[in-house]
Amino acid sequence: MSLFRGLKFLTTVNDLRTLPLDGREVAFAGRSNAGKSSAINTLANHTRLAYVSKTPGRTQHINYFTFGSDELKRLVDLPGYGYAEVPAAVRAHWEGLLGRYLKERDHLIGLVLIMDSRRPLTELDRRMLDWFLPTGKPVHCLLTKSDKLSNQERTNALRSVQKEFANNPQVTVQLFSSLKKQGVEETEKVVGAWFAEPAADSAELTNGE
Ligand SMILES: Nc1nc2c(ncn2[C@@H]2O[C@H](COP(=O)(O)OP(=O)(O)OP(=O)(O)O)[C@@H](O)[C@H]2O)c(=O)[nH]1
Ligand SMILES: [Mg+2]
């Protein structure tokens, strides 16, 4: 069975003070409408686990999903950034929260950065990376909606983003299509490997130090 098949909703959180106290999580971040919620549904092979909308800015809370028998492995659907229709003060508030979450959240073991393959690495995407990369944790970029590109455009999009990170082994990149269900196995492999690493706590215990 594929890794995220049993993914289920765990909880919704509105602010950083009420984040779960346990577990390890991989967050899905990206511009509003980039396809974060769709990607989570596609990985879960579920049509309506995470809320998908044609209207950008739909996911306004932090939604937690869990898989695995102990419910301690989580995928986190973050609110999208860069949605022009949201008042500037609200945007600034969310961007501030995202920044703190990415920089400070100990439970976070890796970031899946969701970018529309037609316009990857916008200024805000780069800001997320600037916040997150100093943590030393891995980033996997999904270039979504790849079904909207020709073969040649897909290859070009992948190469151009890969080139940006050619000297940074912390960042990996792939194409993804929720519509065509393409790229699922590759994502499972990368994100699955992050969860396969022993948790920091137990690593400390086994070191006996
Ligand atoms: N063609 C195509 N459309 C997609 C794909 N992924 C998502 N979409 C569409 O893009 C729109 C936005 O998708 P969502 O998954 O809600 O995007 P989101 O990043 O979660 O957006 P926010 O919650 O607003 O931040 C919806 O209309 C989806 O059907 C894809 O792989 N291919
Ligand atoms: Mg969403």
Residue 152 lies in a domain: yes
C-alpha 34 – ligand 2 centre gap (Å)? 8
Q: Is residue 206 part of a domain?
A: no
The ligand placed nearest to the CA atom of residue 54 is 1
Minimum-distance ligand 1 atom for the alpha carbon of 34: 19
Nearest ligand, CA of residue 47?
1
For residue 150, what are the contacts with CB-CB under 8 A and spacing of at least 6? none
Q: Is the pLDDT of residue 207 over 80?
A: no
20 burial level (CB within 10 Å; 0-12, 13-18, 19+): middle
pLDDT of residue 97: 87
Count CA atoms closer than 13 A to 175's CA, side-chain side. 23
Domain with 183, as residue range(s), is 8-193
81 C-alpha to ligand 2 centroid (Å): 10
Flag whether 3 is in a domain. no
Q: CA 194, CA 205: separation in Å to the nearest integer? A: 19
% of the chain with per-residue pLDDT over 90 = 69
Domain count, the chain: 1
Indicate the pLDDT class of residue 31, thresholds 50, 70 and 90.
very high
Let me know if residue 110 belongs to a domain. yes
Per residue in 102-130, pLDDT (tens digit) is: 999 999 999 999 999 999 999 999 999 99
The answer as to whether 47 is a domain residue is yes
Give the domain CATH number at 139.
3.40.50.300
Average pLDDT, the chain: 90
Q: Which of 72, 62, 68, 58 is nearest to 29 (CA)?
A: 62
Q: Is it the case that residue 60 has pLDDT exceeding 80?
A: no
Q: Per-residue confidence at 89, pLDDT binned at 50, 70, 90? A: confident
| Residue 204 domain flag | no
201 is a domain residue: no
Over pLDDT 70: what percentage of the chain? 91
